[in-house]
Structure 1
Amino acid sequence: MEKTFRPERVALLPPRERIIDAAQALFVEQGLTRVTVDAIAAQAGSTKMTLYRHFETKEVLVLEWLRLLTEQYSAVLDDLAEQWPAQPGLQLLGFAQFIALDLARSGYRGCPFTNSLAELPDPQHPARQLIEAHKRRQFQRMAILCREAQLPNPVERAQELTFLLEGAQVVAQNKGVDDVAQHLLRMVSKCLEV
């Protein structure tokens, strides 16, 4: 669900949004620890002072970026629920299609949550806890949809879907298999019995 950083948008956005957009582009491309506040400010067409006016520390900026990202992923599921009311199987398939679309994108760099977790070894780190809570909520939502779809063993089926979605993101990142998105959708369809 990565937004592409477009320099032509820089002048159109307020400073806070420019900083978040720039941070996202850099965090996705280079990781959390390699990106400096100077680099974020430069890419945002801003200054360090402006960045610190909106975000007390880089860690606060990382947390805000991840919070917004979790909201975007949750909104995808909300939108699918509106688009396919009372059709939980289509909602699950729609979420898999959302992930597959990202996998097929040129220059895919992997799941931003998984990549961030790799750089946050402290189990008490607030950003790590935010990601883990998001992943638990996402799993619970998938388990509810599996139950509503009357799939056998809905919790196990939600686990299978989670392994497929998360695993496909890693395989697409490491280029171990071609056409990961197509394979993912085929396997998810089989798992959902559609």
Structure 2
Amino acid sequence: MTTSTRATPAAPAVGVPRTPAPRGPAVRARILEAATRRFYADGIRAVSADRLIEDAGISKVTFYRHFGSKDDLVVAYLEGVADAEEGALTQVRSAQSDDPASVLRWYANHVAEVSCSEGFRGCAFLNAAAELAQADHPARAVVARHRSWLRTQATELLVEMGMEPDAAGRAAHALLMLRDGAMVAGSLDGDPTAVGQGLTAAGDAVIRAARA
């Protein structure tokens, strides 16, 4: 993952929700904004539909007109987080298409920065997977799709760096595990420099081993 430092486009927090951009009717957007804030801060299971109805200042009938169930709202919440992260990474890949290693370094540094930031409550996708243990819960499909997308991005970047596809796939899987661990370390240690350096060094070791 060693590369020169280059400017990258601004990006939202990795795996952490931001205020969603308004989509569709204003009332639906208000419900989703309340859910995004509450689900991440307090936990999906801890937040009731009644709590969100109160936060959004709407009636129960209005709530269920826009979201047939709380599960539908959870899916929309996670899709919004995924869209933001995927859009950010796509933007960086486009801006630095000639330097795939720099994209991996950007991601590692961004994970470290976010994980040590105030208000960080862990990766929204890992949190959701831990809370929603049922394999057939619709939100689990969103989590699985997004993580598959991240692995695919890492695999493609490693192939662009000259790695064989099979080795790149294995290395990408390991890099995603490092990303998960770095988020936990960041939330506990609070030192973005140390977390970023540790994640980058571990990533470099994974890539060297995959090339051997």
**TM class by shorter-chain length?**
0.7 to 0.9
Task: Specify the alignment match of 1:187 in structure 2.
Answer: 198
Structure 1: distance between partners of 2:18 and 2:147: 23
Q: State the identity %.
A: 27
Structure 2: distance between partners of 1:74 and 1:20: 19
Query: What runs of 5+ residues in structure 2 fail to find an aligned partner?
Result: 1-12, 208-212
Cα gap change, 1:98/1:17 in structure 2, threshold over 3 Å: closer, same or farther? farther
Structure 2: distance between partners of 1:101 and 1:51: 36
CA deviations on 1:75-110 (whole Å, 9 max, x unpaired) are 111111122122111111122233223212112111
Higher RCO (C-alpha under 8 Å, 6+ residues apart)? 2
Q: Please, what TM-score do these two structures have when normalized by structure 2?
A: 0.78
Structure 1: distance between partners of 2:186 and 2:67: 33
Cα gap change, 1:92/1:30 in structure 2, threshold over 3 Å: closer, same or farther? same
Kindly indicate whether the alpha-carbon contact (under 8 Å) linking 2:32 and 2:73 is maintained by their aligned counterparts in 1.
yes
Query: What runs of 5+ residues in structure 1 fail to find an aligned partner?
Result: none
Q: Please, what TM-score do these two structures have when normalized by structure 1?
A: 0.84
Shift of residue 160, structure 1, vs aligned partner: 3.2
Amino acid at match of 1:129: A
Matching of residue 98 in structure 1 with residue 116 in structure 2: no
Cα gap change, 1:172/1:187 in structure 2, threshold over 3 Å: closer, same or farther? closer
Kindly indicate whether the alpha-carbon contact (under 8 Å) linking 1:70 and 1:134 is maintained by their aligned counterparts in 2.
yes
Shift of residue 151, structure 1, vs aligned partner: 5.2
Matching of residue 80 in structure 1 with residue 112 in structure 2: no
Matching of residue 66 in structure 1 with residue 78 in structure 2: yes
1:10-159 equivalences under 5 Å are 14-150=26-162, 153-159=167-173
Matching of residue 162 in structure 1 with residue 176 in structure 2: yes
Shift of residue 171, structure 1, vs aligned partner: 2.6
Kindly indicate whether the alpha-carbon contact (under 8 Å) linking 1:108 and 1:172 is maintained by their aligned counterparts in 2.
no
